[in-house]
Amino acid sequence: MFFTSIFITGCEEVVDVDLDNAAPKLVIQADINWKKGTTGTHQSIELTTTTGYFEEKIPVVSGATIFVMNSENQQFNFIEIQKTGRYVCNNFKPEIDEQYTLTVISNGNTYTATETMKSVAPITRIEQNNEGGFTGKDIEIRAYYDDPEGIDNFYLYRYLYSNKVTSNYYVDEDKFFQGNEFFSVSDDDELKAGDEIELTHYGISKQYYNYMSILVSIAGSNVGGPFQSPPATVKGNIVNATNKANYPLGYFSLSEIDSKKYTIQ
């Protein structure tokens, strides 16, 4: 056993993968979310840049000027917290169907985006099914809501599981259930009693729905491994007014949200 272990150890070889490094791109995470039952005055925006695949730290972008304006030209300033790349506003005024314009000024470039805040139907009930999934043996959670009649609505669902590090996202439109009761559903076949789920429904625009449809599709693809080029270029609604070719990554969205926590029985 001793000589076998030496032989196996001697066969190990470290392979260094030489990857091409692209120039860093600005990433603007500007998700304005208004949770039902709150004032929605406290909001934040984060600025980072892309980095190498093997890097463990994501670079933050400090020193930017960020503000959002509504249709009445009321300006809401986002101030950075101690060079963290996180910019906060404590007096934001959320309003359903109001149009807002984002402005980010960083490193000599001005980035802008315009979006409308969308409402979301409240979650009315949560049901647990112990005979769900393809096998009929998985625990399945459904969060129900009543879709408003006569209005085209688009939804983003987020499921955060206590037994997973990452969240699951997927999008939906009310094309086939408009004006009726519908639901989001969990996507974890390893749920067990005692696990906790935090589920959130977002009301989103049609443009954001199209963007997230592509993003979720790419994120869920297992084809090609980590070194394959993405099958599509995912551009958000934020443009570089100074140099259009140097566009940022990210999206400026405004959503009313409803969130619930549920413990598996």
Q: Mean pLDDT of successive 10-residue segments in the chain (265 residues)?
A: 51 65 91 97 97 89 98 98 96 98 97 98 97 88 97 97 91 97 95 96 98 87 53 84 95 98 97
CA-to-CA distance for 107 and 112, rounded, in angstroms?
14
Which helix H or strand E contains 256, and what residues bound it? strand 249-263
**pTM beyond 0.85, yes or no:** yes
Q: Give me the pLDDT at residue 166, please.
A: 83
Type of residue at 135:
T
Here the contacts of 121-125 (C-beta below 8 Å, separation 24 or greater) are 121/145, 121/146, 121/147, 121/148, 121/153, 121/201, 121/203, 121/258, 122/36, 122/258, 123/199, 123/201, 123/258, 123/260, 124/181
Residue owning tokens 């043996």 = 137
Q: Which two tokens stand for residue 27?
A: 């990433």
Query: Whats the size of the chain, residue-wise?
Result: 265
**Positive or negative torsion for Cα 89, 107, 83, 115:** positive
| Residues 172, 178, 184: CA angle, nearest 5 degrees | 35
